[in-house]
Structure 1
């Protein structure tokens, strides 16, 4: 994976991005979702300028994208994000490179907080987020049911040292 490039996530990446999303859903520790959205719903929910793919020789290895937290003006500088890496590409710095690209784009756009909720069992994701400067805010206990079981979610945020 020496030729990995971070690029803007575009419609031509849709099939691979949604496939990686489905893989994360199927593994059971990435999201409460049970189905990946179609491209139109995915595209509508993600903020332009804050979505990227890691690509190696035309193959998408992972993606990151941010969504607005609220349309209330007080939250204009706060986004929530998701990052997914293909199972075969994990452990090679793909998630960190994607998070770094997201951090750069959000700071350039005046966004001061990136947040996420991660299942506590997803220790690899928690670790890469910590290395990227995210901190644990707390745990929402039994916040929702997933596959018939109550699940906790660890809340993380990264506050920009450049803004606010």
Structure 2
């Protein structure tokens, strides 16, 4: 496995992995992966990566960060998403992607990475705990998803080298 910058040629596979996560029901409130142009525009160019399988180049997973606000006080805070192809889970893909994201954000002076995860996504919560994220709270019944009120656990990772 190798980690590279997410580029337009990865779009089809990245969006398919995103849709697979959406379809499973415990990844996001979204119901449909966006068109590539919308996805591309919403993600910070220097902070999005793919994990590629060996020499074949099949995308195993992706991570990307978005700005949380355009206010200057939040210039060092991003929100991220990480998705792994169902066939590639349990192989360290998500952790490698998070490590790449952490390195890129710290190199860019970003001091906080945050995310919201459904509490039912125990693997995602455990992954983030291992990567140094901490739970900062739970937004109870914050939105309806497939006709059911859902909670979202808020997590953040504060850099120990930036700030």
TM-score normalized with structure 2 length: 0.98
Measure, in 2, the Cα distance between the counterparts of 1:126 and 1:38. Answer: 28
1:1-164 superposed matches below 5 A = 4-56=1-53, 57-164=56-163
Measure, in 2, the Cα distance between the counterparts of 1:115 and 1:58. Answer: 29
TM-score normalized with structure 1 length: 0.98
Measure, in 1, the Cα distance between the counterparts of 2:85 and 2:47. Answer: 20
Unaligned runs of 5+ in 1: none
Count of matched residue pairs? 161
Unaligned runs of 5+ in 2: none
Greater than 2 Å deviation, 4+ residue runs? none
